[in-house]
Amino acid sequence: MRRWVTITLFLLPALVLFVLLVLLPTLMAGYLSFFKWNGLGGLPTNYIGLDNYTRLFESDIFYGDLRTMGVIIVLSLLVQLPFSLAIAMLLHQRIRGRAFYRLVFFAPYVLSEAVTAVLFTMIFAPDESGLANAILGVVGLESEWFADESTVLLTLFVVMSWKYFGFHTLLYLAGRQGIPKELTEAAQIDGSTPWQVFRYVTLPLMGPTIRISAFLSVIGTIQLFDLVWILTGGGPSHSSETLAVTMMQFGFKRAQIGYASAISVVMFLLSLVFALWYQRYVMRRDLEGATVQ
């Protein structure tokens, strides 16, 4: 009995916050998504069933959002994370100025998204005033970057990678440092090449770290907002729009709170289904032992 009192007491503050700031808004959004409501005058009254959802699934913008999301997830998993891993491996070596490099690579992650966005708006300015065009112009590779539909996603990905690779590098570095030296030494004594040591000893042992970093990267992409909003606003012609940007457009610019709630519910479900699936099938072994029997 005493035990339950203690548990309740310790749980209560977090529980109250969780219910008030996570559970309740989620339920509210779910409820509002069945109404046509502009957010004015008391509670919504115009119940329209699943209309907001059918409208969403018929909208080209929604499928464009999914495409943007897919492209960025694939690029992140295939380019950004391996790059971070490589940097982490380098930073694990005994090299001069290692602490300095660690600081430099992590610095972008500490910058706010808005600052990053403003910075890169100037770097990727479409005319000759931008740094990117000034440098790449020498080899004839100028571009209009964010202003051109064919380059906007790639440019956006470069900015995202710049911002977040330091975070993943930090995770990998911590994961790498957790691997006992004896294991790599044993492999070396048995005559493994450095590549073999990495491929058969380091990489498998870093599995849990890699899986959690991929998880964070995907969830972050599903909810991507700040950078896109400031850098492109979703344009040109919706070509870099994400679900969260569409939600903002409809909820706050068009005053269609019901429809925007439907978008947020879809985003929530995407994240939830992905998280459950990922934990069940990909991270199952990592999570074993995390719960007390």
Q: CB 77: neighbour CB atoms within 10 A? A: 15
Alpha-helical (H) ranges within 124-199 are 131-136, 152-177, 181-189, 194-197
Between CA 143 and CA 133 the distance in angstroms is 7
User: Judging by beta carbons within 10 Å of its beta carbon (0-12, 13-18, 19+), is residue 32 exposed, middle or buried?
Assistant: buried
Between CA 169 and CA 87 the distance in angstroms is 7
Q: Does 45 bind another protein (CB under 8 A)?
A: no
Q: Does 39 bind another protein (CB under 8 A)?
A: yes
Buried b (16+ CB within 10 A) or exposed e, 85-104: bebbbebeeeeeeeeeebee
Q: Does 249 bind another protein (CB under 8 A)?
A: yes
Nearer to another protein, 126 or 208 (CB): 126
Q: Does 17 bind another protein (CB under 8 A)?
A: no
Nearer to another protein, 207 or 236 (CB): 236
CB of 52 to another protein, least distance (A): 11
Q: Does 235 bind another protein (CB under 8 A)?
A: yes
Residues contacting another protein: total by CB under 8 A: 32
Tokens of 277: 């699936």
Which residues, 6+ apart, have CB-to-CB distance to 194 below 8 Å?
none
CB of 56 to another protein, least distance (A): 13
Nearest to 162 by CA among 137, 130, 132: 132
Answer whether 247's CB lies under 8 Å from 263's CB: yes
Nearer to another protein, 98 or 254 (CB): 254
CB of 16 to another protein, least distance (A): 13
Question: Which of 4, 5, 13, 42 is the binder for another protein (CB under 8 A)?
Answer: 42
For residue 223, which amino acid is it?
Answer: Q
Q: CB 144: neighbour CB atoms within 10 A? A: 18
Q: Does 147 bind another protein (CB under 8 A)?
A: yes
Q: Does 70 bind another protein (CB under 8 A)?
A: no
Q: Does 148 bind another protein (CB under 8 A)?
A: yes
Q: Does 121 bind another protein (CB under 8 A)?
A: yes
Between CA 233 and CA 251 the distance in angstroms is 15
> Cα dist. 221→56, 193, 267 in Å?
20, 37, 11
Q: Does 136 bind another protein (CB under 8 A)?
A: no
**Near another protein by CB under 8 A, which window of 95-103, 194-202, 253-261, 282-290?**
253-261
**Near another protein by CB under 8 A, which window of 102-110, 143-151, 169-177, 189-197?**
143-151
Question: Which of 5, 14, 40, 138 is the binder for another protein (CB under 8 A)?
Answer: 40
**Near another protein by CB under 8 A, which window of 11-19, 120-128, 172-180, 265-273?**
120-128
Q: Does 125 bind another protein (CB under 8 A)?
A: yes
Residues in touch with another protein (CB under 8 A): 24, 28, 31, 38-43, 121-122, 125-127, 129, 144-148, 152, 232-233, 235-237, 249-250, 253-256
